[in-house]
Copies of this chain bind each other. A is one copy, B any other.
Amino acid sequence: MSEESSSQDEIMEIGSLQGRREILLHTARESLEAGDLATLRLVLNNQHPADLADLFRHLGNEDQQRLLPLIAKPLAARMLAELDTSSLLNVAESLDHEVLSDLVEEMAPDDAADILGDLPKEHSERVLELMEGEEVAEVRELMSHPEDTGGGLMTSCLVAVQEDMDVASAIAHLRELTDEEHIFYVYVVDEGERLLGTAPIKRLLLASQDTLISELTKRECISVRADMDQEEIARLFADYDLVALPVVDGEGRLVGQVTVDDVVDVINREATEDIYGLAGTSATELEARSIAGVLRRRLPWLLFCLGGSIFSGAVIDGFHQEIVAASSMLLIFMPGIAGMGGNTGVQTSTVTVRSLATGHIKARALWSNIWRELRVAMSIGLILGVLILGVARLWTGQWLLGGCVGLAMFSSITLASLLGALLPFLFRRVGVDPAVASGPLITTLNDGLSLLVYFTIALTLFHLWG
């Protein structure tokens, strides 16, 4: 390496996030084992809070308790703010109320409110009582909003100025805010604190000191109410390329702002919720601290599916003697008919659920979605139907049986897709999360229905020509 490039040592060029974190975990474990707390203190206090949070998530309770006192209070506070709920509860349980309230005092008000909201009620009340400073009222106010709304997402940490101020006084205002990053706008309000617009920080920078704020104000600015759903807010950020969004109350008064870093977390969380919901479990199982907690999330849908499979069993029970009498070879194609109905139904419902979530299809576009999916399903049904007809004919030597299987394949795929395109809209309309309701329900429903369709077609055709 040349001398020149050594000046770049502090630039952290990230090769692999995972790799670096594994090294940190390894180092921490070794130092803990060797009891080398001095080295550990040095290493820990040079980390990013997000890396520390990742480290804590992978350590046992006892190790966490040994490490935490080594970390400087402001850094420890920022680390706590980065922890996921289950790790946070773990760490918080082993802390004194006093220590915890000291740490929470160091946090930004929105982080403090989020963390206290995750703690058991009596625990958080005790911490709030011990907290000092004027921030407490702010934190209580933020805690009063439901977690998944604009109010739950926003921070009260922002700079608001009046139109008739000049740039110099606005800058003086800004200087009072300790938080260095994530200030993109100065918000402009009237005497009643009602939002008038935003002055982008770049405009402030380029203007002369005595320019009036009113000259720099962008008046076409998007704002939201505190009760807006966080998913809708995330979509606004994605659609309008926002970095921050002012939140107003019913009278148009500025009460906070939502920043893009929190929205990135919302987008990831909402996607995880949809993915888990489609598989018949809940993203809250990530916060479960025991196997029993995971079971509580997964069992309900499995029991529902088990019920559905008993219905399918009843279909077989009701038909199987007639079926075997017609041709026992009909049994061979049961998994194919039921399975392909299930698969195409899941494809359709998944595509529909995701398109509704991202706004790719509008909530009113029920019929155009059904029409599109129906054409896809009938094409797929035709192709797979003809294919399985051929297979069945070759396997069993019977044209009639092939016809039954092919027709049943076509019908069950069409029916399954119809349900997959329809049900997410229905659930959404009655206020049930389409992802949660669609996944396992559609698989189970289609399983039973496909068999019913298959047997009905088979017995009818065998009755006619058998």
Contact A346–B280 (Cβ < 8 Å): yes
**A221-B305 contact given A190-B4, A205-B171, CB 8 Å threshold:** no
Which one of A33-41, A60-68, A97-105, A176-184 is at the B interface? Answer: A176-184
Is the Cβ of A11 less than 8 Å from the Cβ of B206?
no
A200 contact set on B, CB distance < 8 A: 180-181
CB distance from A93 to the nearest CB of B (A): 21
Q: Closest residue of chain B to A223, judged by CB?
A: B13
Q: Give chain A's interface residue range (CB within 8 Å of chain B).
A: 35 or more
Taking the closest CB of chain B, its distance from the CB of A120, in whole angstroms, is 24
Please list 18 pairs of residues, one from A and one from B, whose beta carbons are closer than 8 Å in the complex, sorted by A's number.
A7-B190, A10-B220, A11-B221, A11-B223, A13-B225, A21-B362, A181-B241, A184-B243, A201-B202, A260-B261, A260-B264, A291-B372, A299-B383, A306-B384, A310-B336, A310-B391, A321-B328, A342-B342
- Shortest Cβ-Cβ A-B pairs, 3 listed: A271-B271, A279-B350, A312-B335
A363-B18 contact in complex given A263-B264, A281-B351, A336-B309, C-beta closer than 8 Å: yes
CB pair B336 A12 closer than 8 Å: no
Residue numbers in B under 8 Å from A379 (CB-CB): 291, 295
Asked whether any CB of chain B lies closer than 8 Å to the CB of A316, the reply is: yes
> A364 — which chain B residues lie within 8 A by C-beta?
22
Residues of B close to A223: CB separation below 8 A: 11-14
Which of A204, A240, A342 has the most chain B CB atoms inside 10 A of its CB? A240
| Interface residues of A, dominant DSSP | helix
- Minimum CB–CB distance from A239 to chain B (whole Å) comes to 5
What B residues does A321 contact at CB under 8 A? 328
> Judging by beta carbons under 8 Å apart, are A252 and B11 in contact?
yes
Q: Give the complex CA separation of A443 and B298 in angstroms.
A: 17
Asked if A328 and B320 sit within 8 Å, CB to CB, the answer is yes
- Most chain B CB within 10 A, of A8, A219, A313, is at A313
Q: A295-B379, A313-B335 are in contact. List 17 more A-B contacts (CB 8 A).
A: A7-B196, A14-B224, A18-B362, A21-B362, A50-B241, A171-B206, A175-B206, A181-B200, A268-B271, A281-B350, A291-B376, A305-B340, A305-B343, A310-B391, A313-B332, A320-B331, A335-B451
Contact of A268 among B14, B21, B265, B267 (CB under 8 A): B267
A139-147, A230-238, A458-466: which one contacts chain B?
Answer: A230-238
- Which of chain B's residues have a CB closer than 8 A to the CB of A124? none
A11 B320 Cβ-Cβ under 8 A: no
Question: How near does chain B come to A204, taking the closest CB pair, in angstroms?
Answer: 6
Q: Which of A317, A320, A332 has the most CB of B within 10 A?
A: A332
CB A85 to nearest CB in B, in angstroms, measures 12
Closest chain B residue to A364 by CB distance?
B22
